[in-house]
Amino acid sequence: MDSADVDRKTRARITGVRGETYAYWYLRRSGYAMIAKNFRVPWMHGEIDLVGYDRDVLVFIEVKTQDMTVRTATRPEFFVDWRKRRTVRRMARAFLRVYHLENPPVSYRFDLVAVEFYPSAKPVVRVHKGVFRGVNQGLLSIPQTSSSKLDVALTLARCRRAMRWAFWSSIAFVRSVRGKTSALFRL
């Protein structure tokens, strides 16, 4: 791998992080309540860029960014193929499992945010709501909605508790694994 490839990958990564950050703040100003960023699970491939609530619906958000200094005919939205949709669906199921949001089922959808950065101009942002369906979501991409703000607050509190539990249980797991491996090497 030569330095040109490394520079290209570094520029692409910087552009992606810049786009995710811009999308995060754009969605926050639009009324989304963000609860996770760059969600990953150690035993799975892929990540979810942003997870948040749009009113009372849990939203898994994929951000696609393009630097428009080099004119291309394709929009960032076209880079979400069936493989990426499958990965996002799998990661969404993992998110629901990890944070115990499966039972009772939570209303959720998948959004796509396309960000285009133009030289010396304001970025163009397009939010596509409900772009593809989840595995268990039937024909509609937006399931039934909750009736009160209290339900949303309770769901957010439950999600925060679950995130704290997952964090501390993962630390306890790492500590227990470290203790066992060190005991194995002492033999």
Rounded CA separation 134/88 (Å): 9
Decide: 49 and 37 in contact? Cβ < 8 Å: yes
How many Cβ atoms from other residues are within 10 Å of residue 58's Cβ? 22
Total of domains in the chain? 1
pLDDT for 29 equals: 96
- Average pLDDT in the chain: 77
Rounded CA separation 117/127 (Å): 15
Which residues are CB-neighbours of 176 under 8 A, at least 6 positions away? Answer: none
Closest to 132 measured CA to CA, from 88, 100, 184: 88
Rounded CA separation 79/142 (Å): 23
Q: What is the pLDDT of residues 18-46, one digit of tens each?
A: 999 999 999 999 999 999 999 999 888 89
Percent of the chain scoring above 70 in pLDDT = 66
How many Cβ atoms from other residues are within 10 Å of residue 20's Cβ? 19
Q: How far is CA 117 from the centre of its chain?
A: 21
Q: What is the pLDDT of residues 44-73, one digit of tens each?
A: 889 999 999 998 899 999 999 988 877 676
Q: Counting beta carbons within 10 angstroms of the beta carbon of residue 9, is it exposed (0 to 12), middle (13 to 18) or buried (19 or more)?
A: exposed
Q: Which domain holds residue 105?
A: 3-186
Decide: 31 and 8 in contact? Cβ < 8 Å: no
Domain CATH for 55: 3.40.1350.10
